[in-house]
Amino acid sequence: MAVVIAVAALIVVLFHRLRQPLILGYLVAGIVVGPFVTGLEATITPPGGVPTPIDTRAIVELLARLGIVLLTFSIGLEFSFKQLRRIGIAVIAAASLEVLVMIAVGFQLGIALWGKDSTLEATLLGAMLSVASTMIIVRALKESGGLDNEKARLIVGLLVVEDMAAVLILASVSGLVSTGGIETGELFSLVMRMLGFVVVSIVAGLLVIPRLVDYVGRQRSNELLVITVLGLAFSMAYFAIWAGFSEAIGAFVMGVIISESKFIGDVVRRVEPVRDLFGAIFFITVGMLVNLDYFTDTAFIVTALIITTVFVLAKLFACSVSTFLFGFGARNSLGAGLSMIAIGEFSLMIAAVAIGSEAIDETLYPTIVLVTTLTALIVPYSIRYTHKLTMGLERRTPRALLAMASYVNLLVRNIRSRSRSSVHLSNEMRNSITRLAIYILVMVSVSVVATSMLGHTAAYSDQIGVSEQTVLLLILAGTFVVVIFSLIGVWRRTVRIIEVATSEAMLSTKSAENIGYQATSGALKWFFLALYVVIGFIAVAPFVRSLVQQNLLFDLVVIGIIGIALAALWSSVQTVDKKISEIFEMRESTPFLDTSRDLIEIEEIIAAMERAKP
């Protein structure tokens, strides 16, 4: 500990002077002292006893797990249901969508890098790439302009939701790693049991724990308060392990429960120094467990660079599109995407949990450490130059696509405004979105169950007295029917949402009325078709790859899917651009015909873009 903390202090001071994230300093400190500590041949000699060798690597891994408990507990303390309500359903939905997209992209990338037999590694990679680093991003935001602006508040909201999702992902990953493999049915069962554990623990804990913490807080003893809350945190962590889950989920749940106490401010202030110490130790131990021999391997470096590039592009796309779809504006959405391109603490926690499993490729751990380092170096500059990057992208964006983006954002924004004042619209949209979610849940659940059943066709054939091929056919046919009907339901609900949205938007958006109901709703239908095709293909591509053995045929399928999506998107863009151009021409010939502020806003954006062109 003397060597670790002393070296860490020196390196962290240097990184602070260089204005680099402290996480990088901790990782570098761990990498520097790692070979001296993990390779140390230490012994302990009891009084009058025989010297006993100590496994220093096991001690390092234990310190890492202690750091995970305290970090997740602190995140739970800073999380509250009131804060979740303030964030809003739009931010929660946008963050959930982009996390799911990133899990699918990471899984796809893992299969492409390590082969179709590496499903566990691919799943872990998807989990690691799905959440951004709160520590790195918040600090970069503070240094570049503060947190008191619309874009920063959007980013912080996304990070809060991601942290909550990350704890659930971390707990799920712990269960997968402990089994040494991944089965779709087991994963579904694990997630359901874990959600049940979280709900029951929070409901039961809220009845007792906040009152206990309030009683201790009234004693005005800092020592008593710290010992009590840390004792509760570690007790809940152990209870989670006893129940078959990760210690992280237990510590997080206890933090959420304690956050409802009246003395939460005192708890956070008293626990913060302990959290900082063990948080630093955690990141240092992550660096200590890295094998430096990999950094001389060209294939390892290339793999890390590929993962970094795919993560940055995919995270930029997922965050920008998801926030844009929920009405946060093109510039704010792009700013959020440029600010979220850093993985950090939770990715390293997942890597720390996975490192002890023999079923996982040993290169995955140092790869994620290197990717974390690279993204931590990139994100301060992407945040600092967000405005310039946004303006540069606008200058190079085709006018038609810019008009489409501006108009869709105006419609979504007006729908959100109308839904707050119209009970009928609010109920209609809630009903449609609920049914849409049910269709998607049914489709996913049936697919998961069918996938788990495919491995037991022989047993089913013996039980019902038919051939194995018949059982296989029945499973596939039943799954196909349910999926097709679910897809039809998803599309019908989407069409209904579009029709209601466009008709209601006309009440507050004069430009929508001028463009026309049919043209607007038709353009949005093509837009959502393109989006569904892209997201759906990302989700099912691994199964398509397993069914299509020839690489050329799979490439043709990919090209076809991309072609359909681009054609649908282009049709939508052309429709809106044509109608908006017609209205602009009418405005020029008859200046007082249309005084819509929405069209003026679109016109000003396009004019500013054209003036900025060289």
- Domain of 279, CATH number, reads 1.20.1530.20
> Which pLDDT band holds residue 418 (cuts at 50, 70, 90)?
low
Measuring CA to CA, how many Å separate 453 from each of 3, 449, 463, 546?
Answer: 53, 6, 14, 17
Over range 532-542, report the average pLDDT: 64
Chain segment 469-523, per-residue pLDDT in tens? 887 788 878 888 887 888 888 888 877 777 776 666 555 555 444 555 566 666 6
- Examine the domain organization and report whether 496 and 533 are in the same domain: yes
Tell me: do 427 and 487 sit in the same domain.
Answer: yes
- 354 and 453 co-located in one domain: no
Residues 211 and 285 in one domain: yes
Average pLDDT, stretch 101-127? 82
CA count, 13 A, side-chain hemisphere, 515:
32
Decide: helix, strand or coil at residue 590: coil
One domain for residues 310 and 256 = yes
Q: Is residue 313 part of a domain?
A: yes
Q: Are residues 342 and 427 in the same domain?
A: no
Looking at every residue in the chain, the average pLDDT score rounds to 75
> What pLDDT, on a 0 to 100 scale, did the predictor assign at position 32?
81
**What pLDDT, on a 0 to 100 scale, did the predictor assign at position 609?**
43
User: How many CB atoms sit inside 10 A of residue 437's CB?
Assistant: 12
Q: Is the pLDDT of residue 590 over 50?
A: no
Which residue, of 368, 394, 420, is where some domain finishes?
394
Q: How far is CA 333 from each of CA 91, 161, 285, 322, 573, rounded to the nearest angstrom?
A: 11, 16, 36, 8, 19
Residue 235: band (very low, low, confident or very high) from pLDDT cuts 50, 70, 90: very high
CA distance 261 to 34: 40
pLDDT band at 453 (very low <50, low <70, confident <90, very high): confident
Q: Do 183 and 127 share a structural domain?
A: yes
14 pLDDT band (50/70/90 cuts)? confident
* 525 token code pair: 């239908």
Residues 350 and 409 in one domain: no
Same domain, 75 and 186: yes
Residues 314-336, mean pLDDT to the nearest whole number: 83
* Candidate from 12-16, 300-304, 413-417 with smallest mean pLDDT: 413-417
pLDDT classification of 593: cutoffs 50, 70, 90:
very low
CB 593 within 8 A of CB 587: yes
Q: Calculate mean pLDDT across residues 135-157.
A: 76
pLDDT recorded at residue 177? 67
Which range has the top average pLDDT, 4-8, 367-371, 409-413?
367-371
In this prediction the pTM is: 0.73
For residue 356, tell me if it sits in a domain.
Answer: yes
pLDDT (tens digit per residue) in 174-200: 766 665 555 555 666 667 777 788 888
Domain stops at, among 351, 376, 394: 394
Q: Per-residue pLDDT averaged across 422-446, rounded? A: 75
CA-based torsion, 237, 239, 240, 242: positive or negative: positive
Does a structural domain hold residue 415? yes
User: Are 376 and 409 in a shared domain?
Assistant: no
β-strand 42-44 against 52-54: which pairing, if any?
antiparallel
Domain membership flag for residue 228 = yes
Q: Which of these ranges, 218-227, 325-334, 505-514, has the smallest mean pLDDT?
A: 505-514
Q: Is residue 267 part of a domain?
A: yes
Confidence at 417, pLDDT banded by 50, 70, 90: low
Cβ neighbours of residue 357 under 8 Å, at least 6 residues apart? 177, 178, 180
Tell me how far apart the alpha carbons of residues 23 and 346 are, in angstroms, rounded to a whole number: 12
- For 595, other C-beta atoms within 10 Å of its C-beta total 10
- Number of independent structural domains in the chain: 2
Q: Which contacts (CB < 8 Å, 24+ apart) does range 506-509 have?
A: 507/418, 508/414, 508/417, 508/418, 509/410, 509/411, 509/414, 509/596, 509/598
Residue 591 has pLDDT above 50, yes or no: no
- What pLDDT is stored for residue 460 in this prediction? 75
Q: CA-based Rg of the chain, rounded to a whole angstrom? A: 27
In whole angstroms, what is the distance from residue 284 CA to residue 63 CA?
10
Which whole-number Å values give the CA distances from 379 to 196, 343, 372, 447, 527, in the listed order?
A: 36, 10, 11, 37, 30
Is residue 48 a part of any domain in this protein? no
Determine the average pLDDT of the residues in 57-63.
Answer: 77
Q: How many residues does this entry show for the chain? A: 614
User: 424 burial class (0-12, 13-18, 19+ CB within 10 angstroms)?
Assistant: exposed
- With cut-offs at 50, 70 and 90, classify the pLDDT of residue 293: confident
- Is it the case that residue 146 has pLDDT exceeding 80? no
In a domain, 49, yes or no: no
144, pLDDT greater than 60 = yes
In which band, very low, low, confident or very high, does the pLDDT at 595 lie, cut at 50, 70 and 90? very low
> Quick one: 401 and 390 in the same domain?
no
Domain boundary (364, 394, 424) is at 394
Interval 341-347 mean pLDDT = 82
Is there a single domain that holds both residue 528 and residue 382? no
β-bridge partners, 44: 52
The range of the structural domain enclosing residue 416 comes to 397-612
What confidence score (pLDDT) does residue 469 get? 80
Per-residue model confidence (pLDDT) at position 357: 64
Domain assignment present for 504: yes
